[in-house]
Each structure stands twice: as C-alpha cells, then as structure tokens.
Amino acid sequence: MTADIHETVRLHYAEAARDVLQGTSCCSDESSFGSQLYSALEREELPDAAVLASLGCGNPMMVADLHEGERVLDLGSGGGIDVLLSARRVGPTGRAFGLDMTDEMLTLARQNAATAGATNVEFLKGHIEEIPLPAGSIDVVISNCVVNLAADKPAVFREIARVLRPGGRIGIADILADDSLTPEKRAELGSYAGCIAGALSFSEYRAGLAAAGMSDVAITVSHEVGGGMFSALVKATKPATGGASDAGASGAEAATVPAGVTAAPASQADCCGTGCDCGAAE
C-alpha cells in the first residue's frame, strides 16, 4: 500500500516537473493558483521556473517566522520555491534544505537554485516518512500541501519531531477535511495525488502532531476548496524540555472550522482539489 501510494504520487509530480522544465505550469498558464498564494514581492525574488512549479495550497512563509541563521527543512520541496524564499530569510549563516522523492523535481529545484545564485541551500532525495537528516538538526520544518500525500502520516509527524531541535517549530500549509467527513467520503471527493483522498481531518491532524510530542498546535483556515475540504496553515512547537505534549487551548479552538469561511473561486478549488496538482511530490 505504501509503495503504491509513493509511486502514484511520484508519477503525478514527475509529470508536473517535466511540464515546468518545458515551460508550462500545472494549470496551463503562468498564473497557476499555487504561485498566486505568494506576494508579488516574493515572486519577484524567484526564477520563473520556481514560480511555475508552485503547486501548493498555501504559503508556509506566513507562519514560519524565519530568522537569520536558522536551519530550515521543506518537506516535499518540489521546484524549490519555499526553499529559496527560506534561504533568503535565514541568510548566509543559515541553511535551507529541501526533501523530495522525485528525481525530476530535484533536477528542477537544483536548476532554480543555480539560477537564483543560492549557495545556502541543499536538496535531498528521500521520503518524508524517513527524513535523511540527524536528530535535533533543524530549527523549522515547513511544507506546502504535501503531508496529505504521505502514505504513513504518523511516521511523518514522528520524523518531524525527531529532526527538530528542542524548541523548534513547524509552519505547514496543507489540505484538511471537516471532522464530519469520513476517509471514504474524502476518497469520493478527489484523488490521493490531488491532495484530497489522503487529507486528515482537523482533529486527526492535531492528534497526530500531539502523539508525536508536538505542542501548542494551532490551525488557521485560509479558505475552503470545496466539499468540506479546507486549505489551512498549521503551527506547532517541539517542547524545549521533555515531557508529555499538550495541544493547548489553541489546538482545541482550531478543531472547529470557523464560521464564515469564504469558499475559494471555482478555479482555485479545481487547482487545489481534484482537477490539478496540489503541492510537491513528497
């Protein structure tokens, strides 16, 4: 099952990378939904191919709160947009790592890093369920619409907690399901590679992070992508000292989708749902 999911996702995003290398984007024009989640200033900092390869559902830079000298890891780094933005924020004394399992995406990301002249970046091949970095070596883990693609999400959360230093934190954009939607219903709404079938519910996401030892879990909905599926930003912290994790009040309050969430326009729902790519290969 795990191998099947990995291969399905890999093939899907390998094709997306090849499209970008040939000068096209996932949504057939240069204003793909993923890139529009970044400010014009952020997009101006990047090579065109990195912007074209942005297939995410949010902007983890909004919650990552990066600082000079930090070490950042992007899970499912795709064409490298978030790695390159992170590298600028952490500066020459910091380092930004990207992890991806797809050779085509790694080729694209390294090409983009070279074009950008980024020297404090490193792209690694591997699965996010088995991160090829030492324990306690990362200050911030980010990801953009990729955890939902993982075959073993508890393993992903454990690996995040393992590589983070004590006091480290996460800033993740992802697709989450309303707690009322069963896994079977999510599968009916969209595909695994389209970021829908594999999405966790709000309560499952919080519980998974807490079980891995993360605390202060907070989930903020950015918009509805349709059918009870939401794009959201997730924050959490690895406790500075050992001990049982506690999601805290912010995690509990985030269990319910806030009233008045505005549904995304149809074109956005398609591009981050069943009709287009959403995120990078893990």
The confidence score (pLDDT) of residue 254 equals 40
Q: Which residue in 110, 116, 109, 61 sits closest to 89, CA to CA?
A: 61
**pLDDT, tens digit, 9 for 90 and up, residues 10-28:** 555 556 555 555 555 444 3
* Parallel/antiparallel/unpaired status of strands 229-237 and 215-226: antiparallel
Please compute the mean of the pLDDT values over residues 222-240 and round it to a whole number.
93
* Predicted local confidence at residue 223, as pLDDT: 87
Quote the percentage of the chain above a pLDDT of 90: 53
Residue 125 has pLDDT above 70, yes or no: yes
Torsion of CA 258, 195, 268, 39, to 10 degrees: 80
Which pLDDT does position 247 carry in this prediction?
Answer: 40
Tell me the pLDDT tens digit for each residue of 86-105.
999 999 999 999 999 989 88
Among left, alpha and beta (phi > 0; psi -120 to 50; other), residue 149 is alpha
pLDDT at 59: 83
| More confident position, 110 or 190 | 110
Do 279 and 57 meet the contact criterion of CB atoms below 8 Å apart? yes
Residue 208 has pLDDT above 90, yes or no: yes
Q: What is the pLDDT of residue 158?
A: 98
Residue 31 has pLDDT above 50, yes or no: no
The per-residue pLDDT for range 151-198, each reduced to its tens digit, is 899 999 999 999 999 999 999 999 999 999 999 999 888 876 677 888
**Lowest-confidence range among 51-55, 106-110, 260-264?**
260-264
- pTM to 2 decimals? 0.78
Judge contact between 33 and 267, C-beta under 8 A: yes
Please state, in angstroms and rounded to a whole number, the distance separating the CA atoms of residues 153 and 68.
Answer: 30
Q: Of all residues in the chain, what percent carry a pLDDT higher than 70?
A: 65
* Total length of the chain: 282
3-state secondary structure 113-174: HHHHCCCCEEEEECCCCCCCCCCCCEEEEEEECCHHHCCCHHHHHHHHHHHEEEEEEEEEEE
Structural domains present in the chain: 2-271 (3.40.50.150)
